[in-house]
Amino acid sequence: MLGGMAKAKGHGMLEELLRKIGDRTARVGVVGLGYVGIPLAMRISEMGLPVLGFDILPERIRQLTAGESPIRHIAPKAIAAMNARGFQATGDYSRAAECDALLICVPTPLDKHREPDLRFVTATMESLAPHLRAGQLLSLESTTWPGTTAEVLAPYFTAAGLTPGVDAFLVYSPEREDPGNPDFDTSRIPKVVGGDDPASQAAGVALYSAFIDTVVPVSSSRAAEMVKLLENIYRAVNIGLVNELKIVAQRMGLDIFEVIGAAATKPFGFKAFYPGPGIGGHCIPVDPFYLTWKAREYGIHTRFIELAGEVNASMPDYVVGKALQALNARGKVMSGARLLCLGIAYKPDVDDVRESPSVLVMERLRDWGAVLDYSDSHVPVFPVMREHSFDLASVALTAEVVAGYDAVLILTDHSDVDYAMLREHAALIIDARGRYSSNPAGNIVPA
């Protein structure tokens, strides 16, 4: 009898949530207003649902409230338009009770032992827990190991007297943002959704279908969590492969970018990945370690994944080694050499330096005694980072400035750089991005 009553109650709450989603009255809370949360909030707002944004950073809340964009590739006018539609940013987590759905988009980095660090997730849940209520949907979007939603988040519902699938709903839906990519915005990237009971799955699919063009249901939250890891491990492994092949090709006197370009003409069975000074960003350098850590619980050693990680982690040292050799060949030593690092964001045309291999290269060069500057129009001042510190600001990239350095290292190839000017005026260029692959010159050393 009690089971039947609980089922009826849960069905009624699901129907009420689905009704609110359908008539666009469901208020959605986006928790974590960064590279994932802001585009997500913008899209939800565009589709007519009321949105409330949560963040722990007062400056981030101030910027958004004032119509300013804290992210370079998002225009201030887009923030202002979202505000005009009723968006509010707040640090008051008690307002979570106003929300019918809560989407968690907070960082999940690695700790100093390269193991998963869920402190941001658990701190968020501690802040939300007193304000969880019946009828709410909670979705975790942060990258994590399979089992996190069920093992870490579900107990917060239990402690609040709620049962997922009965009087509340819980899903995992991994973020798939690609900052700065003009070809894929939030609405057009298919969204994977996994819940561990039919009601949660139905609620999650309905919510995301309200603002995402294509929703892909999977059988459980664990399956959805594994999807996210697979996507980025696939990229990490293939980048590791081409990074290793780059070293082989250079030793053989071959241009790896020419080889990849020719291979990419094959219309089946091949996808082009490109080498660089390492891997960066909030996902690819981190995600493989989430799976290798969890796999150990099952007695499995993920040798293939870890080998790719070792190759990618070795690339900053490889670039520095090439710089050492190139300077030495010109009668210079690294200690005291004036070097300009070009691009410190983790990929072209964004302002995100998280896990950037450029920063690792800079640290290695500093350890060798080099005198460093950097130029990056997207990052005007070197940001405060947890593990890295440089008291530097971006220098202007002019012919006179470039000519004053012993070498320029192309670490991130932003599209707004005058590479012809650079080639003409730099004494030496260490090219870790293959920018001059099709147009070499005597002062360019591939790295």
224 or 279: which leads in pLDDT: 224
Residue with tokens 């225009």: 75
Mean pLDDT throughout 328-355?
95
pLDDT per residue over 127-183, tens digit each? 999 999 999 999 999 999 999 999 999 999 999 999 999 999 999 999 998 877 777
CATH number attached to the domain at 2-219 = 3.40.50.720
Domain ranges of the chain: 2-219, 235-446
Say what the pLDDT of residue 10 is: 62
Residue 243 scores a pLDDT above 70: yes
Q: Which residues contact 310 (CB under 8 A, 6 or more apart)?
A: none
Euclidean distance between CA atoms 24 and 266, whole angstroms: 46
Residue type at 345 in one-letter notation: A
Say what the pLDDT of residue 75 is: 94
Q: Are 319 and 277 a contacting pair, CB within 8 Å? A: yes
Residue 102 scores a pLDDT above 50: yes
Portion of the chain with pLDDT greater than 70, in percent: 98
Query: What is the CATH superfamily name and number for domain 235-446?
Result: NAD(P)-binding Rossmann-like Domain (3.40.50.720)
The answer to whether 99 is a known catalytic residue is no
Say what the pLDDT of residue 1 is: 47
Q: Are 364 and 431 a contacting pair, CB within 8 Å? A: no
In sequence order, what DSSP letters do the residues of 136-158 get, joined into one string? Answer: -EEEE-S---TTHIIIIIHHHHH
Q: Which of 99, 105, 283, 341 is catalytic?
A: 283
Q: Among residues 46, 48, 92, 87, which one has the least CA distance to residue 65? A: 87
Q: Which residues contact 212 (CB under 8 A, 6 or more apart)?
A: 43, 186, 187, 189, 190, 191
Euclidean distance between CA atoms 308 and 295, whole angstroms: 16
Three-state DSSP string of 296-342: HHCCCCCHHHHHHHHHHHHHHHHHHHHHHHHHHHCCCCCCCCEEEEE
Fold identical between 2-219 and 235-446? yes
**Entry pTM:** 0.90
Question: If you average pLDDT over every residue of the chain, what do you get?
Answer: 94
Burial class for 51, CB neighbours closer than 10 Å (0-12, 13-18, 19+):
buried
Q: For residue 5, what pLDDT band results from cuts at 50, 70 and 90?
A: low
Mean pLDDT throughout 419-428?
96
